[in-house]
A = this chain, B = another copy of it.
Amino acid sequence: MTQKDPQPGSLKTTFIGLGVMGFPMAGHLAARHEVTVFNRSADKASRWTEHYAGQRAETPAEAVKDADMVFCCLGADEDVEAILTGEGGVLNAMKSGSLLCDHTTTSAELARRMGVAATEAGVRFVDAPVSGGQKGAEDGALTIMMGGAEKDCDELLPVLECYAKRARRLGEVGAGQLTKMVNQICIAGLVQGLAEGIQFAKKAGLDPAEVVDVISKGAAQSWQMENRYQTMIEGQYDFGFAVEWMRKDLNYALAEGRRNKSHLPVTALVDQFYSEVESLGGARWDTSSLLARLENLSRTS
């Protein structure tokens, strides 16, 4: 599609990284703002312009040069660093005073380093990792955790509403990433407990779906229990939030815990169990596949 006439209040924006998450996020953005996209693999950028009203650029630098706000949603630390501060990097190409919002889940250290680099380049930086998964991105119902100057986060808020049902500032640059780490730490122990419970239910000869039906109204309830029990019972893991993404995030959390002197025994242990899931071929399986680890062992018996 071609660009529509700008709506009142519409900003010039750029979205870099049209992966599972970025593609639909940029799409929601385009409903209210002018969007120029860039993706390393050109095909995703072409596909995006077929679906949504917006333009594509050939290089990151070109993509950002007129933007008021730039969003990116890439892979890991090294990817963000490459795009922002590498050769032909985005920061030096951005307009003075413009705002860069990074949706990638990275280390807090990387966020702080990018924050400093942005300041040096005369640009404002907010780290803003998301949760809600592919479905949250597609439905425009993500949760966003921001770290940055209050003024910058306030300015972002109405724009983020294009794809977020919740967005909140948690502190200075890096605080968004730290909050995302808390999220992943909570999930690690929780999912392992759930996996042990469902496995026990099966081994005990109970109907695990009936068990979940009765216990999911009380103290054992969790989002994971309600949204994953069925696929876990069916041994279906080809969807959702990938184990290798989870390990990336837990790696950041464990390294940060080393620095801030947290004690993360079960997080560290479950991260190793995820390494065993990867050895079972599950690098791209949903995080609920901790059950597959427990059951693989049983299958052979």
Contacts and interface: CB of A to CB of B under 8 A. Distances in A.
Interface of A: 108, 131-133, 136, 143, 145, 165-166, 168, 170-171, 175, 178-179, 181-194, 196-201, 203-207, 210-211, 213-215, 217-225, 227, 241, 247, 251, 253, 256-258, 260-273, 275-276, 278-281, 293-294, 296-298, 300-301
Contact of A268 (B185, B227, B272): B272
Contacts of A266: 189, 192-193, 196, 266, 269-270
Contact of A189 (B190, B204, B207, B296): B190
Nearest to A194: B186
23 contacts: A132-B218, A133-B219, A166-B214, A168-B214, A171-B205, A182-B201, A182-B220, A183-B219, A185-B197, A186-B194, A188-B193, A189-B196, A190-B194, A200-B257, A203-B262, A218-B223, A219-B223, A220-B223, A257-B275, A264-B272, A265-B273, A266-B266, A281-B301
Contacts of A182: 197-198, 200-201, 204, 206, 211, 215, 220
Dominant SS among interface residues on chain A: helix
A220 B281 contact: no
B190 A222 contact: yes
Contact of A204 (B197, B256, B276): B256
B206 A197 contact: no
Contact of A275 (B193, B224, B262): B262
A264 B151 CA distance: 45
A253 to B, nearest CB: 7
A247 B251 CA distance: 16
Contacts of A218: 131-132, 136, 143, 183, 223
